[in-house]
Amino acid sequence: MLLPIPGHPFQAKFHGPYVVEQRLDPVDYVIATPDRRKTKRVCHVNLLKKYHERDPKFVTCITTEPASVLHETAPDESTTDTLSALSP
């Protein structure tokens, strides 16, 4: 569900997933939001997005150890000379 960011009234981001409790009409739904100040909200369909569960084989793992650099390379001087020769 697209909700405003607290303290930033003109910015919003998607939160959830939440459960649809009731369909009021073709474009309005009652949504359960237990982790918010209002536990139930009436939302227009344009504020909702279908939740797709991620396939676990495509989820990447983030490590806490920093990546190590195998070797550093200096810029090739011949390339720099060629680029400076092309400049007017």
Q: What is the per-residue pLDDT across 39-80, written as a single tens digit (0 to 9) for each?
A: 999 999 999 998 888 887 777 766 666 666 666 666 655 555
Closest CA to 35 of 56, 13, 19: 19
Q: DSSP letters along 18-69, please? A: -EEEEEEETTEEEEE-TTSSSSEEEEEGGG-----PPPGGGPPPPPSSPPPP
Query: Which sign does the torsion angle of CA 24, 33, 11, 51 carry?
Result: negative
Q: Which pTM value belongs to this model?
A: 0.56
CA distance 50 to 35: 19
